[in-house]
Amino acid sequence: MVTVAGNGYRENEIIRVEFGSNTNRAITPMLTIVTSDGSWTTTWTVDTQPFGTTTITATDELASVSKLYTILPEIILVTPGNGTVGSMVTVAGNGYGTGKQIRLEFGSV
């Protein structure tokens, strides 16, 4: 989960929050409304996309502010959880670069 918050905005202003570039859009842009104290907050789950740095941008009628966010690779599945010598093991992950070679190490090295 990613939570982004801002303050110093005008009450009831609509803030458009975008994650990633046009070619690597993780989610549809979200809209959130500024509260009476000038702040806003929005939360979402990062979907599957390649490892690396991307941008979170918050935009209102007057300005746009961006911050960097790093996507980390992750192993999401190892199955079966145990087995005997010769057992077939499946490993799955996400967040790795497209077309990149992945090196898996199994056991002690």
Question: Tell me, what CATH number does 17's domain have?
Answer: 2.60.40
Count: domains in the chain: 1
What's the pLDDT at 24?
45
* The token pair that represents 90 in the structure block: 């499946």
Model-level pTM? 0.70
In a domain, 49, yes or no: yes
What's the pLDDT at 107?
77
* The token pair that represents 70 in the structure block: 């790093």
38, β-bridge pairs: none
Cis ω for the linkage preceding 80 (within 30 of 0)? yes
**Residues 6 or more apart from 63 whose CB is under 8 A from it?**
none
What's the pLDDT at 77?
94
- 36: containing domain: 2-71
Going residue by residue through the chain, which has 109 residues, state the pLDDT in tens, using 9 for 90 and above: 889 999 999 999 999 998 875 444 445 678 899 999 999 999 988 777 778 888 899 999 998 999 999 988 889 999 999 999 999 999 999 888 778 888 888 876 5
